[in-house]
């Protein structure tokens, strides 16, 4: 029996989703995307937060170039009708689904791997991580949402530099360019991501949903429309859990914020 391309484990209310093609540096092909879709949808139902990581020495080296070559040479038959890119669909299930995702990054985080990483809401890497967009050197273009997600994270000039020159960013440069928010010693990214996920899971499910779905949409709006949508969401009827949390604070029973620092 073949090993799964995606591993899935539920730890309490946190789903652990692992890319499992270590011998191919977790390169993304169609079967992996199909298994990733199933795992993400399962996490939507079972978990309050998910952690995305890579087995082996790398998070993800991007597109499986052997599959890309087979498609370019007609060895893989194209679909009869044009449809949405399967990477776009699955990465959007991560980025704009019902639960937050934390990405634990190490080793190669390049091309499609970086596109996948930027679909997550929080990103932590260890000191071995390198970030790159080698599409320019491969004669192709980004296709997994990078023009939208990566460009909004690092800015157009940085993304152009990475694509035109093939430059790799170190972990420290990734922190500087906002690719990640946390850098930890080698081998500790998954542990740190788990700690962050546990902290995020303490928030209310409703608030987490608004943070990951309302904020990016307001980012795309005009000033006035953004304020209007903010008001609509902040004025929504609050569930009983919100009332209980507010009462804890008013009564002096809420945990101090500095006790929660990551």
115 is catalytic: yes
**Catalytic: which of 3, 135, 177, 195?**
135
206 is catalytic: no
Neighbours of 154 (CB within 10 A): 24
Q: What is the residue whose two structure tokens read 């591993």? A: 7
Q: Which long-range contacts (CB under 8 A, 24 or more apart) does 180-185 make?
A: 180/105, 180/123, 180/124, 180/125, 180/129, 181/122, 181/123, 181/124, 182/123, 182/124, 182/125, 182/262, 183/124, 183/125, 183/126, 183/127, 183/129, 184/124, 184/125, 184/126, 184/127, 185/126, 185/127
**Catalytic: which of 9, 115, 230, 243?**
115
Q: What is the residue whose two structure tokens read 């209980």? A: 244
Active site residues per annotation:
115, 135
């Amino acid at each position: 029996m073949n090993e799964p391309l995606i591993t899935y484990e539920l730890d309490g209310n946190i789903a652990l989703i692992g890319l499992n093609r270590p011998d191919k540096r977790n390169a993304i092909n169609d079967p992996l995307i199909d298994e990733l879709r199933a795992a993400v949808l399962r996490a939507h139902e079972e978990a309050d937060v998910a952690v995305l990581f890579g087995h082996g020495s790398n998070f993800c080296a991007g597109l499986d170039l052997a599959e890309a070559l087979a498609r370019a040479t007609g060895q893989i038959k194209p679909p009869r009708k044009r449809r949405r890119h399967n990477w776009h669909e699955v990465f959007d299930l991560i980025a704009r689904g019902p639960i937050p995702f934390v990405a634990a990054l190490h080793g190669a985080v390049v091309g499609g791997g970086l596109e996948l990483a930027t679909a997550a809401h929080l990103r932590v890497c260890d000191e071995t991580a390198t970030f790159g967009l080698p599409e320019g050197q491969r004669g192709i273009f980004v296709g997994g949402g990078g023009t939208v997600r990566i460009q909004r994270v690092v800015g157009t000039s940085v993304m152009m530099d990475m694509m035109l020159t093939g430059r790799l960013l170190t972990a420290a440069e990734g922190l500087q360019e906002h690719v990640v928010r946390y850098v930890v010693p080698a081998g500790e990214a998954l542990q740190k991501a788990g700690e962050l996920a546990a902290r995020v899971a303490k928030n209310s499910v409703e608030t987490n949903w608004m943070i990951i779905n309302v904020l990016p949409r307001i980012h795309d709006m005009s000033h006035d429309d953004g304020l209007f949508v903010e008001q609509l969401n902040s004025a929504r009827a609050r569930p009983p859990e919100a009332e209980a949390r507010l009462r804890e604070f008013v009564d002096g029973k809420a945990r101090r914020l500095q006790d929660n620092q990551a």
